Chains A and B, each alone.
Chain A
Amino acid sequence: MQVLYGRHHVRVFRFGLRLVRDEQVAEDLISEVFLDVWRQAGKFEGRSAVSTWLLAITRFKALSALRRRKDVELKDEAAEAIEDTSDDPEVAVQKKDTGQVLRKCLTALSQDHREIIDLVYYHEKSVEEVAEIVGIPENTVKTRLFYARKKLAELLKAAGVERGWP
């Protein structure tokens, strides 16, 4: 358990934090995830990578936590303030820091779009693995990411950043 925790807890925490947008909740979440793993170790059949299994449990628990939280919108606003203390996109554009604008826009995406972008880019999950974690068909995985990227482009455009796509 110690090795498993040492190897995966940071990524599990970051994935959870991007979903629930609250450090305290994300920390509780990883304790719950690894406790579940402790309880269900016998059920892991090795058909997928351990990290895929962990991210799927994390996602399930994060969504349950979000559902339990009645004041989710309020928390979202509060958490955004905690999560990102950088300039507003417009201010960042004036300072010509497009990387900062991009990061700000990445946090402004919907939960569905955030998770798919994180799973593919940061957690380096294949189409099949994302389908398994999110519980959607592989074709939907591909189109959802495409539309997440389109939405990101819209947010960037609104913040004054033109990248030549779409």
Chain B
Amino acid sequence: MMALSKKILEQEPGDIELLLPWHAAGTLSARDARRVEEALASDPDLARQYAVIREEYAETIDLNESLGAPSVRAIQNLFAAIDAEPAQEARTSFNLSARISSFFASLSPRALAWSAGVGAVVLLLQAGVIGAVLIQGANYQMASLSTGEHEVVEQAPPRALVRFAADARMADITALLDTYQASIIGGAKGGMFRLQFGDKPVTEQEATNLLNRLQGEKIVSLAVATP
């Protein structure tokens, strides 16, 4: 019986030995990493095991990287499901107010007093910023009126309904969105995504050029302007 428990104890891994995989992945705390480094320097068996772990680590990454990425079908399904969801504003604002209430409820009176003081300073700063914005806004509006370009200022950034090629990968789509500074603002009804390009209005000619350029992309099978 004694011999058996001694054998079991000998097979039990040590504390440092158990941490070796995290050391290989670089996710240990500085203190634990130091402990492991010291043990590795003085224990050849542990160092041998660590070499094996480094190999496992590299091959696990290789294996996962070889799995590729999901097709565009996944994001189409996601946006179709999001479109089918009921509006979220009410639920979100409820959660937000509930969380704010519980946050203040959790504060001690001393913390609350400090918060009130800080809050007053923030309010003053906010008032200053709002004032500055209002003054700038007034100047801007006057300038717009004087040059007769008020309509251009009111226009939205260009938008388009886009259908991606069936074999388009997510990585390609993300790269395209980056290149065009575009964001998906709706979709995927009938497989079409509603994209917005940048956040500033452009001239009609610029919008046409953008659409033509987009239509020429390999992963875009259809692009049409939309309000």
Contacts from A to B (Cβ < 8 Å)? 1-2, 5-6, 9-10, 13-14, 17-18, 26-28, 30-31, 34-35, 38-39, 41-43, 83, 99, 102-103, 106-107, 117-118, 120-122, 124-127, 142-143, 145-146, 149, 152-153, 163-166
Contacts and interface: CB of A to CB of B under 8 A. Distances in A.
B67 A18 contact: yes
Contacts of A122: 60-61, 64
18 contacts: A5-B75, A6-B170, A9-B70, A10-B170, A10-B171, A18-B67, A27-B73, A28-B77, A31-B78, A35-B81, A38-B85, A120-B22, A121-B21, A121-B60, A121-B61, A127-B22, A143-B13, A145-B21
Contacts of A165: 48-49, 52
Contact of B78 (A5, A145, A149): A5
A106 B123 CA distance: 58
Given A103-B62, A121-B60, 14 more contacts: A2-B177, A6-B170, A6-B174, A6-B177, A9-B70, A10-B171, A30-B78, A102-B59, A117-B56, A120-B27, A124-B25, A145-B21, A146-B17, A164-B52
A30 B70 contact: yes
A141 to B, nearest CB: 9
Chain B facing A: main interface SS: helix
Contacts of B78: 5, 30-31, 34-35
Contacts of A143: 13, 18
B22 A118 contact: no
A26 B156 CA distance: 38
A14 to B, nearest CB: 5
B70 A106 contact: no
Question: Residue among A27, A31, A126, A163 with the most chain B CB within 10 A?
Answer: A31
A90 B70 CA distance: 31
A11 to B, nearest CB: 8
Interface string B118-135: 000000000000000000
A158 B170 CA distance: 39
Contacts of B73: 27
Contacts of B82: 1, 35, 38
A10 B68 CA distance: 8
Interface stretch (B88-96, B105-113, B206-214): B88-96
Contacts of A107: 63
Contacts of B170: 6, 9-10
B63 A152 contact: no
Contacts of A83: 67
B210 to A, nearest CB: 19
Contact of B69 (A10, A41, A102, A149): A10
Given A10-B170, A127-B22, A31 B60 contact: no
